[in-house]
Amino acid sequence: MHSDETTPQEQDRDAALDATERALIADEEQVLRHVQSELARALAQPVNGVDFDRELMALRDQIAEERAEDHAMLVEHMTRLAALRAAQSREYAPPADPRSPYFARLRLRDTHQGERREREVLIGRRAFIDTRRGVQIVDWRNSPISRIYYCYREGDEYEERFAGELQAGDVLARRTLAIEAGELVRLQQGERVLVRDADRGWMRMAADRSRLAGGAGTAIRAPGEHLGRHGPDQRLPEITALIDPEQFRIITDKRAGVVIIRGGAGTGKTTIALHRVAFLHFQDKRRFAGKRVLIITPGDALRRYVSRVLPALDVKGVPIHTFPKWALQTAKRLVPRLKKRKLTDETPTGARRLKRAPALLDMLAAEVRDGGRRFDDAFAEVGGKPLLDAWVRRRNLPPMQRLAALERWLEGDGRAVRENNRVPLARVMDQVREELGDPFEMWAELFSDRVRVAAALKASGFAYHEWELNQLVETVARQADDPPDRSDLDAGLRTGIDGISIDAGDITGRLDVDDLAAILRLCQLQYGRLTGPSGQVVRYEHVVADEAQDLSPMTIKVLCDAVKPGGPVTLAGDTAQRLSLDAGFDDWDVLVEQLGLTAHVLPPLSVSYRSTRQVMTLARHVLGPLAPEVQARDARDGAPVEMLRFAETGEAVAFLADALKSLRDRERRSSVALVARTAAVADLYYNILRRAEVPDVRRIRQQEFDFSPGIDVTDVFQIKGLEYDYVVLLEPTAGQYPDDVESRHLLHVAATRAAHQLWLIASDAPSPLLPASLVEGRGLGDADPGGDA
């Protein structure tokens, strides 16, 4: 049964609408009925001798006559008939989807054949044009006229060239629509947004829910050359003034050794680490001079940020690197035979996972420790018991230090042994240097030895697959080869016809970051400090690694032993924000035990400053069972988190383009990040936003952030460690973020980049990691659990 009467709730909500808004809704619903009726007529045309005319014509008449309550059923029936037609004829291309035929409507005024006219254009994902019956739906992806919708606002004059002809006119009306299951559920015209809620009542959406607003300057900016004013009424706060008592105690703690700073997103880990550098520098400017400190960041963006912050803290000349860059430079400096080697990130996944296994640290240490025993007999044969005793007594020293100590003995008390056996002794000692003093050769031999790697993994209980082990051995064998020599080829012949290097994807002779970490670790084990065959020594007074949760245990061990004995090492990180699940560890206490470190693992920081309570509520929910038991307190409230769902990407981008244009008009100093999981999704949105002429849009592909106001379109792997006033997550869908551990970490990292306001925009089924209340449009309340998603 159907009733023409409305419920009290519907009456209350409809009463909130004014006459203009009621007229807008009625007008759009009438247009929708007309389009659906004409779609039924189009679908009724016979295909392959099967005539659908009778049933579809009846549907057309019913759509025109029945009440709105019946539309969903009729449209669903029409959709099934369209699918049946498509199944009976592969060549048949159905017109627009009757469940959601278009998402925008334009009313234009222009001049045609010397006469002024008004016309209407609907914009959807598939074209359907029948001008005789007053229907014109154009495909937003390839129709030139759709540019008017994306680039102009209601009331604007436009001038565009279509089919080589310059056309000018006025945009009389521009409306963005959402049609679901054949029913109009959302209408936006300018700043006015009308929505139909779950109880089928229309209501006006609050202005603060339909736009990005009020957040300009919330995110901390990287300083310029000076602290102070930057433009009219723009003052960058003195960063040191933002430190709370808990952070201050950590910064000024004078204890030596390894200090691990833990805390969730936005708790100030980076701030503490940098201020600890400044504090130690102030306490002893000679010892902790800039050049004697090393800072490792996860990417170039954070490296540039740190390079601006430290001078503002009166610390200059500090080398700031990503680990891959520092490791490559250092390895080439210490091991001359690596001079021509290049870096690769093409290592197969199985080989990469095993290279990061903590068990391989023990394998390297055992090989170096036991390697000297192989020469006991040789020394005994050359110099008898005196030489053997001198060699064995020094067995606790690293091999190259042991050899140097033996040489000093031969120049003193063992001079007679040397004089009597000069040639054979020199031969044995050269062999020791060759076998125990070449870190590259030892790496190549060990990592390609299937038996020894398997034994090390099994001894530690590290689970692996045989295919991963095979992949590791094969990969290292290729990497250990000499790099291909292309010197005889002209520059033009070193690239293919597609412009890509002929060596692209080839790992022959190339080392990855995990290989470099292993080689540098062997340098430390063989020589007792960070030096190598070149004789150059690398040593720091203080090492800082930010976002250390994505570094491998091997890498962390190398950095910890790059300082003088007992010197300070500051590691800052949050295992909940891991971007790489094969880093080799997920618990700081376990890591400390595995590496044999004397470390101070500090309690997690207790206050979250960057993101608002609303953002952090979502971020913790996304983590689900991975969320830490002790959660930081949120320092402030902010704008509600909004999930905006659309039937089509074009509709989503149109809404977003309007919102971003409005924001740039109102808040020129604001920073916005549009964050996708993949580069492909980021490219899609960027290209359409550029087409829509959204100002100040930048596509960030390789960490080329410049921290200036504007709109950065990027993927989650680029944005780690940064923050923005506004963040929009692009397509947080089930396809992009399924229910798995990696997706939980990535979605958590992406969401917690927002300092003021967070939106989620999706044109497909939402991710199962998101709260039901957010997906259903009920908002994100305090009652949403932070545990299981």
Q: What is the pLDDT of residues 41-73, one digit of tens each?
A: 777 665 554 454 455 455 555 545 544 444 444
Check whether 368 has a pLDDT greater than 80: yes
In the predicted model, what is the mean pLDDT of residues 620-642?
Answer: 86
Residues 6+ apart with CB under 8 A from 233: none
According to the model, what pLDDT value does residue 209 have? 64
- Beta strand pairing status for 104-112 and 115-124? antiparallel
Radius of gyration of the chain (CA): 33
CB 105 within 8 A of CB 121: yes
Alpha helices in 394-552 (DSSP H): 399-411, 415-420, 422-436, 439-447, 450-460, 466-480, 513-527
In the predicted model, what is the mean pLDDT of residues 509-531?
Answer: 96
- Tokens representing residue 596 in the block: 């044999």
Q: Give CA–CA dist 754/725, Å, rounded.
A: 6
In the Cβ-directed half-sphere of 337, how many Cα atoms lie within 13 Å? 12
Nearest to 37 by CA among 65, 76, 64: 64
Check whether 555 has a pLDDT greater than 90: yes
Q: Give CA–CA dist 77/74, Å, rounded.
A: 5
Per-residue pLDDT band for 7 (boundaries 50, 70, 90) equals: very low
Q: How far apart are the first and last CA of the chain?
A: 39
- Tokens representing residue 295 in the block: 């800072």
Residue 168 backbone dihedrals phi, psi, to 5 degrees:
-130, 150
According to the model, what pLDDT value does residue 107 have? 92
Per-residue pLDDT band for 602 (boundaries 50, 70, 90) equals: confident
- Of the ranges 214-223, 372-381, 433-442, 704-713, which one carries the lowest mean pLDDT score? 214-223
In the predicted model, what is the mean pLDDT of residues 650-667?
Answer: 90
According to the model, what pLDDT value does residue 230 have? 34
Per-residue pLDDT band for 255 (boundaries 50, 70, 90) equals: low
CB 613 within 8 A of CB 636: yes
Residues 6+ apart with CB under 8 A from 758: 611, 614, 615, 618, 639, 641, 642, 726, 727, 728, 729, 751
Residue 310 backbone dihedrals phi, psi, to 5 degrees:
-60, -45
Q: Give CA–CA dist 31/29, Å, rounded.
A: 5
- Of the ranges 11-15, 155-159, 260-264, 268-272, which one carries the lowest mean pLDDT score? 11-15
176 by DSSP, 3-state: which? strand
* Residue with more model confidence, 155 or 54: 155
Check whether 229 has a pLDDT greater than 90: no
Nearest to 675 by CA among 714, 649, 706, 701: 714
